[in-house]
Chain A
Amino acid sequence: MGRLFWKFFVAFWLASVLVGFSIFGLTWLLRWLEPDGKQSYEAERMVLALNSTAAVLGQADVAGARALLGSLVQQGVKPEIYVVDESGRELLGRTLPAADRRDWRLVGDNSYTRVVQPSGHRYVVFARQSEAEAALSKARPMPPPAAIPWIVVLLVSLGIAWRLARHFSRPIRSLRSAIRSMAEGKLDTRVAPIHPRHEDEISELGHDFNRMAQRLQQLVGAQQRLLHDVSHELRSPLARLQAAIGLARQRPDIASLELMLERIERESGRLDSLVGELLTLARLESGAGQIVRETVDLVELVTAIADDARFEAESNERQLVLEGSGEFVTFVGAELLYRAFENVIRNAVKFTQAGSCVTVRLHAGAERFTLEVLDRGPGVDPGLLEDIFQPFHRAGAGGVEGFGLGLAIAQRAVQTHGGEIGASLRDGGGLAVQISLPRTPAPA
């Protein structure tokens, strides 16, 4: 039981004990102030009947007393009232068991009374001993002792406080142990559903924790994959470098030496550009904070890239057509977007079939700039359309230059600027990449 448990427990318990005590204490006080009435209703009624009968007899009204007794008997009032005169006769002629006749004197004061009429006749008015005793002993129910409700209050509040404190502290403890195990690097940690039948804020906390854990696991997994891919990508040019050096050592004649040096140069160039692309990607992934923004016209930017790419395409028996014109001046990281557009357009030129044409279509709207790059290349598997933006994903089989970082860089650059990038398959073969960017006004 943690400290939180006891805090909840004690606070809630004290609160409910206090409330319970004040309610019970108040009612107890009220009852204490009430006039005492300890006799039972039957006893009161018996005394009343006795006194009335005695009073009527005392007025020498024997007939009235008889009528009163008769009506009491008729109404079934218990205990029955009997009246006996000095000769031992009962007023209504009822017979009495011998025991009652003999012992009525022993009964408490309230159960009989003597009446002497002005004429000198004497009567005894009484209730039967056993019945009178029963009525008199049956006191009005006593209120339970004050300790009982207090103990009940204590126990009930104890139970409720316990439940409540557990309700809060248990999920928090399970969350805590989950967070600890995450901190130890077990990223597959999840918490079991909390209060699954009664969803509340704490259950939502559990759901949020699980979502966070899943996201973290994905991110760390992606980072590890990236690191793995990077080391693999670095390894290949290094292995080729070493092979080239080995060959140069093996045949130290000038001609083959020259050939190997050329290879070594090419491989180190590759390493250099790989490292450059990785750094760009890392910068983009680490956040948008360090982007150097400037005011540029994106249409102009794309036109410049398209001109360069057209030159390259035409020297490889491919064509490039630029559609759309206008002006879209915005405040962006120009170098990043230049790279993004260049990567997408050069990719298209690289993959489009010999003799086919790459279409670069731009549209400068009022609020958005859109760019579409369409090629006639092999396209990709429809299920992998998302994956081509993953680092080191290579669309083509072997033999294609590049590390598979171009589209990944493009995607992150566009997303950093609040834009969208997507790929789709073209009718008639080939790939279409769409980029859409919002206008960012330059700060005043």
Chain B
Amino acid sequence: MARAISPRKKIMWTALAWGLGLLIFFPIMWTFLTSFKSEATAISDPPVWFFFDWTIENYSTVLERSNYPLALTNSIIIAVGSTILGILIAVPAAWAMAFVPGKHTKDVLLWMLSTKMLPAVGVLYPLVLLAKWLGVMDSRILLIVVLMLINLPIIVWMLYTYFREIPGEILEAARMDGASMKSEIFYVLTPMALPGIASTILLNIILAWNEAFWTILLTTVDAAPLTKFIASFSAPEGLFYAKLSAASVMAIAPILIMGWFSQKQLVRGLTFGAVK
């Protein structure tokens, strides 16, 4: 827009936006601050904002005297594992559908989408039964498989939309330049597809990390990731706000950072490309 925007208007919008933004962000900020308070300070009346004795005792308590490290390991393994498994299955499928489209490609894609809409409670008991029967209840491998299955449609869709954006002419140019199928894939297609694959991986790790149905119901102790670990704070004894805050900050920090970098991917992935 080439028109001059009055600085007064700009300041007005800035104030309004920042005000509302900080309001929305407040709970996260408050959690962050509380994590550095002592339990007594955390519930002080009136509440304290910035000026108190900052301490990291909550962090050390949570890290040393609870299952937090195990839960963190589980979250990482499950999130990364299900993502990698999903990518291995999805890349060939999305590749084939994007570059060799057939009569039924659209139907297959829509069907995959529909599996994502299956309510989890509809298959809850059979899954519990199967897990017990196979002896994999409360195991990381079970969750890796289950989370891969529920996110596979999103992975396939995202990759499909990214692959479709690779201009066909560039692949034809590679063919004219004498590239065999293998060379075409290795030297041209893959480098051009990597950014899309990376974005998909990023979004999927976020979704798997935050998944809070199967991770809660299919685990007890051994494979419990952070979602379940935090859930155990729902009715503890004694003062716990500061410790809850510390645990929460550690649970959400990596994903918050990843999330800030993946806004565009979020839009594409969760609307199945319907909004770009």
A-B interaction: no
Residue positions of B touching A, CB distance < 8 A: none
Residue positions of A touching B, CB distance < 8 A: none
